[in-house]
C-alpha cells in the first residue's frame, strides 16, 4: 500500500508539538532524522519509542499518511491542531510501502545486550551465539515499531535486565514495564526467566504492538497490557520505566508504589545532566541509587527501601 509522506524541518524544542499535532490528525508513523547527518549514516535514523525523545538540536521530521490524504486539507488540519507552528516548509511525496520497510530491514541487524539477551528481526537468521542454550531471544518486526533496541535508552534497560538474570533475580518473578512501547523490555524479562509481565502504556497502539509481539514470541499467556491506572493494584519485585525524565519525576510516587520492598527499579529516557533531579526525587523511597551512561543517555537504578 502506498503512502503520502510529509517532511519538514524542526528543532528539538519544537519536535514534541509537531509530533503531537501530526498524531492528532492521524499520522500512521513519525520518524526523525538528524538534519546534519550523512544520509548514509544509519545511526541518524530514529523512530522514537513511546516516551522517548530525539538527541539532535535540528532534525527532519517525516510522517506517513494514507495515500489518498489531500495535502492541502492536511495542512489546514495541522494548522488547526496547532496554529502556533510553521507548516509552510512541509514537503509531500508519494512513497511505496516497500520503500519504508526496506529502510529499516536494510539497517536492522541482530543486537546483543549483556551476556545472553538478543533482539533479532523476524527476517534475519539467528546468529550462532543466539542459537545456543541459555540465550534469551526476542524476535521483533523491523518495520514500523515503537522500540527495537537500537536506541541507547532501550539498550541500557536491556543490559540491566540481562544483569538481573545473571544474579538470579528475575527467575519466576513478576515484572512491570511502565511505558512498554513495543513490549521489548517485558518480552526480554520473560525470555530471561520472569514468570509474568505487565505492560503499561498511554498509547493504545503500543498496547496492541506489545500484545502482538508477545504472541509472536510465544509468551502471550504470560504478558498482560493496560492503560495507566487500569492495571491491577499490585507491587512488583522488578520495575522498568523507559520514559522521559520529566515523566519519571512527575510519576515518582506512582512508580515507587509499584515496587515491592527490596525490589529493583530501572529508569531511562534520561538525558545526561537530568539524572541528579531523578535521583533526588526517588531518594526518599529507594536506596543504592546509581546512574549509568550510554552515549548521551542515562539509566538510574535503585532498590526499594523496606
Burial class (CB within 10 angstroms; exposed 0-12, middle 13-18, buried 19+) of 36: exposed
CB contact set of 72 (below 8 Å; sequence gap of 6+): none
pLDDT for 103: 52
CB contact set of 186 (below 8 Å; sequence gap of 6+): 175, 177, 180, 197, 198, 199, 210, 214, 223
pLDDT for 125: 87
pLDDT for 140: 83
DSSP letter string, 140-167: E-SSS-S--S-SHHHHHHHHHHHHHHHH
* Measured distance CA(201)–CA(206) in Å, rounded: 7
According to the annotation, is 242 in a ligand binding site?
yes
According to the annotation, is 179 in a ligand binding site?
yes
Q: Which domains does the chain possess?
A: 3-105 (3.30.70), 108-304 (3.40.50.150)
Question: Which residues, given as ranges, of the chain have pLDDT below 70?
Answer: 1, 34-56, 97-108, 141-150
Query: Model confidence over 12-45: pLDDT tens digits?
Result: 888 889 988 998 898 888 877 766 554 333 333 3
Q: Are 146 and 206 in contact (CB under 8 A)?
A: yes
- Residue 104's nearest CA partner among 67, 148, 62 is 148
Local structure of 259: helix, strand or coil: strand
In terms of phi and psi (left: phi > 0; alpha: psi -120 to 50; beta: otherwise), the region of 298 is beta
Query: Model confidence over 49-69: pLDDT tens digits?
Result: 444 444 457 788 888 888 889
pLDDT for 41: 36
pLDDT for 226: 96
CB contact set of 190 (below 8 Å; sequence gap of 6+): 175, 196, 197, 214, 217, 219, 222, 223
- Helix count and strand count (H, E) for the chain: 9, 15
Strand ranges in 79-206 using DSSP code E only, listed in sequence order = 91-95, 111-113, 117-121, 136-140, 174-178, 196-200
pLDDT for 209: 86
pLDDT for 208: 87
**CA triplet 276, 295, 118: central angle to 5 degrees?**
110
Q: In what order do the strands lie in the sheet with 286-294?
A: 223-226, 196-200, 174-178, 236-242, 259-271, 297-304, 286-294
Amino acid at each position: 500500500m502506498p503512502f503520502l509522506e510529509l517532511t519538514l524541518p524542526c528543532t528539538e524544542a519544537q519536535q514534541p508539538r509537531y509530533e503531537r499535532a501530526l498524531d492528532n490528525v492521524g499520522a500512521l508513523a513519525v520518524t526523525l532524522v538528524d538534519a546534519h547527518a550523512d544520509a548514509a549514516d544509519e545511526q541518524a535514523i530514529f523512530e522514537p519509542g513511546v516516551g522517548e525523545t530525539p538527541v539532535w538540536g535540528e532534525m527532519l521530521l517525516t510522517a506517513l499518511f494514507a495515500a489518498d490524504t489531500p495535502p492541502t486539507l492536511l495542512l489546514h488540519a495541522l494548522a488547526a491542531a496547532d496554529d502556533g507552528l510553521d507548516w509552510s516548509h512541509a514537503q509531500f511525496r508519494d512513497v511505496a510501502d516497500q520503500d519504508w520497510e526496506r529502510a529499516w530491514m536494510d539497517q536492522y541487524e541482530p543486537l546483543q545486550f549483556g551476556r545472553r539477551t538478543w533482539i533479532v528481526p523476524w527476517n534475519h537468521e539467528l546468529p550462532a551465539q543466539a542459537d545456543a542454550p541459555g540465550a534469551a531471544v526476542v524476535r521483533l518486526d523491523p518495520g514500523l515499531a515503537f522500540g527495537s533496541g537500537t536506541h541507547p535508552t532501550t539498550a541500557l534497560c536491556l543490559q540491566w535486565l540481562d544483569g538481573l538474570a545473571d544474579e538470579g533475580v528475575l527467575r519466576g518473578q513478576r515484572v512491570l514495564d511502565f511505558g512498554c512501547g513495543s513490549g521489548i523490555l517485558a518480552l526480554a524479562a520473560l525470555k530471561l526467566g520472569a514468570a509474568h509481565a505487565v505492560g503499561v502504556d498511554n498509547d493504545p497502539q503500543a498496547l496492541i504492538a506489545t500484545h502482538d509481539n508477545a504472541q509472536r514470541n510465544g509468551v502471550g499467556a504470560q504478558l498482560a497490557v493496560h492503560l495507566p491506572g487500569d492495571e491491577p493494584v499490585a507491587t512488583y519485585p522488578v520495575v522498568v520505566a523507559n520514559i522521559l525524565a520529566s515523566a519519571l519525576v512527575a510519576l515518582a510516587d506512582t512508580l515507587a508504589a509499584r515496587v515491592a520492598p527490596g525490589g529493583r527499579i530501572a529508569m531511562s529516557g534520561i538525558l545526561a545532566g537530568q539524572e541528579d533531579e531523578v535521583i533526588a526525587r526517588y531518594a526518599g523511597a529507594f536506596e543504592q541509587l546509581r546512574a549509568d551512561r550510554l552515549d548521551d543517555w542515562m539509566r538510574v537504578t535503585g532498590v526499594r527501601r523496606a
